[in-house]
Structure 1
Amino acid sequence: MHVLILGGTGDARRLAEALVGGWAGVRVTTSLAGRVARPRALAGEVRIGGFGGADGLARWIVEHGVTAVVDATHPFAEAISRSAAEAAAATGVPLLALRRPGWAAGPGDRWHPVASLAAAAAALPALAGPGGRVFLTTGRQGLAAFAALDGLWFLVRTVEPPEPPLPRRAHCFLDRGPYTAEAETALLREHRVGVLVTKDSGGAATAPKLVAARELVLPVVIVRRPPPPPGVPSVAEPADVVPWLRRLPGPA
């Protein structure tokens, strides 16, 4: 069995470790898009770079004898998830999506769900007010959606250096989770942040900023996830992938 993991998330890394360390005879390849210059170490084989769309992914699957694909990309990686669904359909190779659950608002949360980054930018002037200060944690891609908001000040956190266009009044810094609620609260206080903007990526590594926002009674603009490709089964935890693999026909 050759399992191709479409990675880039902590769940993908944990899945590769579980398969390589606990299932003899299984070949595991994790594919990374290459957007992070120094990715964390991964178990098994690693390939870096795009496939060239659904057709290129289908060719790679056939040429490398892939018998199962697990889409463990970020919930907002729409293009590769769509390509995976099309390539799996074209090749007949089973596809499973590994998607951690999204976050759920609790008592005291002041969430403002929106459908896109553009909608998040449109909501900010009213929420932040003139000269408001915004903590932007939506990743380095898509910052252009906020570039025209000259009346606001942005604290921008990314893993890799962002590329222009950026908001004119922005302080950018690089950091990678996991974070703690205490550190996130201190960060928000230090920079006198009035609004948090984030994507609903789910998971525990970056959730402490939501706890900090609740503690400080701050509004949170949260971008909803795009819908997954239709017809693709999904599980929530890396441990749930192994039973799915064992049920597949073949040498497993």
Structure 2
Amino acid sequence: MVPHVLVLGGTAEARELAGELAVRPGLRVTTSLAGRVSRPGAVAGEVRIGGFGGAEGLAEWLRAHRVTAVVDATHPFAEKITANAARAAALAAVPAVVLRRPGWRPVPGDEWHPVASLRGAAELLPRLGSRVLLTTGRLGLAAFAHLTGPHFVVRSVEPPDPPMPPDTEVLLARGPFTVAGESALLREHRIDVLVTKDSGGAATAAKLTAARELALPVVIVERPPLPEGAVVVPDVPGALAVLGLG
């Protein structure tokens, strides 16, 4: 049987991994995308778009397509997908690994306020500033919708889903971003507090440097916990090593 790796994608690391796997002779790779982004980047190998119908549906797909390994390379905040992937792999008796880029870490000069959820960020915001750059993605803005005082600049790749705060300005942009560009954005919109998820990686880290240089507070939404017993690697070489392909 030809080895078949399912990559749960949507990240730069997932695309990199698919590219590494697609050129291996005698190996089949399928990348699954949720379909939430209208113009996803090019992915090597086979591509599947859409959900599976929960953990049981994914387990059945793994069996039907003779998948021999699962790599969860989704966004660090794709908590439901990650939980379903872990359960599905267990149900189908297929080995699984979670590929997660390391989270950000504060350095001297940072004023970070870690919170456990978007709701926690919304509760803290009024005490920190009145002009907010919100970079938590297009989903979840409902957590801030009740805040009528602050002015929000919401940046996302796709138009955000309502409800959202009444005083909201939307910027559509895709990283990577530069420190100079982020500093100019913060100054232009007179931002006095930044809200972001701990996504990790270099593509969107420039805003943290810009906030530090401008002495702005940053509300950091911490990552959700991974499933118990998950095998976690920080990069593509680590995933290849676990797959026995390093």
Answer yes or no: same fold by TM over 0.5. yes
Question: 1:217, 1:16 → 2: CA distance?
Answer: 40
Deviation at 1:235, TM superposition (A): 0.5
Letter aligned with residue 18 of structure 1: E
* Number of the residue aligned with 2:4: 2
Deviation at 1:18, TM superposition (A): 1.2
Match 1:155 to one of 146, 153, 156: 153
Question: 1:176, 1:190 → 2: CA distance?
Answer: 19
Match 1:142 to one of 140, 143, 149: 140
Deviation at 1:245, TM superposition (A): 1.0
* Number of the residue aligned with 2:221: 223
Deviation at 1:54, TM superposition (A): 0.1
Which structure 1 segments of 5+ residues have no match? none
Question: 1:185, 1:174 → 2: CA distance?
Answer: 17
Deviation at 1:24, TM superposition (A): 1.2
SS of alignment partner, residue 241 of structure 1 = helix
Question: 1:186, 1:17 → 2: CA distance?
Answer: 35
Question: Which portions of structure 1, spanning 4 or more consecutive aligned residues, are displaced by more than 4 angstroms?
Answer: none
* Number of the residue aligned with 1:123: 124
Letter aligned with residue 27 of structure 1: R
* Number of the residue aligned with 2:45: 44
Deviation at 1:20, TM superposition (A): 1.2
Output aligned runs, 1:19-168, within 5 Å. Answer: 19-21=21-23, 23-128=24-129, 132-168=130-166
Normalization by structure 1: what TM-score? 0.95
Letter aligned with residue 222 of structure 1: I
Question: 1:243, 1:149 → 2: CA distance?
Answer: 47
Deviation at 1:208, TM superposition (A): 0.4
SS of alignment partner, residue 30 of structure 2 = strand
Question: 2:66, 2:169 → 1: CA distance?
Answer: 47
Question: 1:123, 1:152 → 2: CA distance?
Answer: 12
State, as a whole percentage, how many aligned pairs show the same letter.
64
- Show CA shifts across 1:148-207 (max 9, x none): 111000000011111210110010011111111110011000000000000001001010
Question: 1:126, 1:202 → 2: CA distance?
Answer: 26
* Number of the residue aligned with 1:233: 231
Question: 2:158, 2:100 → 1: CA distance?
Answer: 23
Which structure 2 segments of 5+ residues have no match? none
Question: 1:196, 1:152 → 2: CA distance?
Answer: 12
SS of alignment partner, residue 166 of structure 1 = coil
Question: 2:240, 2:121 → 1: CA distance?
Answer: 38
Match 2:13 to one of 8, 11, 20: 11
Deviation at 1:19, TM superposition (A): 1.2
Please provide the CA RMSD for this pair: 1.0
Match 1:185 to one of 183, 186, 191: 183
Question: 1:246, 1:103 → 2: CA distance?
Answer: 29
- Show CA shifts across 1:94-140 (max 9, x none): 00000110000000000000000000000000101xxx100000001
SS of alignment partner, residue 128 of structure 2 = helix
